């Protein structure tokens, strides 16, 4: 009986230790979109404004440099 409990515990730990693939955002939204409840289309600042709201870029006069990492 103790062996069955140990094996069950070991199996549960092994399953929980396996990496689970996360769902990645493929639309290119930056992390600021998550903080604004996905309202990135109303914010035209930054490099992401070229993709999400190109009409709003004419109202901004700034230089912007951003970087990101995806895998």
Which pair of structure tokens corresponds to residue 38? 């996905």
Question: How far is the C-alpha of 45 from the C-alpha of 36, rounded, in Å?
Answer: 13
Per the confidence metrics, is the pTM higher than 0.75? Answer: no
pLDDT in tens, 5-57: 999 999 998 888 776 665 555 666 667 766 777 676 666 666 677 777 777 77
Question: How far is the C-alpha of 11 from the C-alpha of 17, rounded, in Å?
Answer: 10
pLDDT in tens, 10-20: 999 888 877 66
């Amino acid at each position: 009986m103790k062996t069955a409990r140990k094996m069950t515990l070991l199996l549960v730990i092994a399953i929980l230790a396996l990496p689970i693939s996360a769902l990645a955002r493929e639309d290119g939204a930056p992390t600021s979109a998550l903080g604004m409840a996905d309202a990135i289309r109303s914010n035209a600042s930054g490099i992401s404004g070229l993709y999400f709201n190109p009409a709003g870029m004419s109202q901004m006069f700034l230089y912007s440099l951003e970087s990101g990492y995806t895998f």
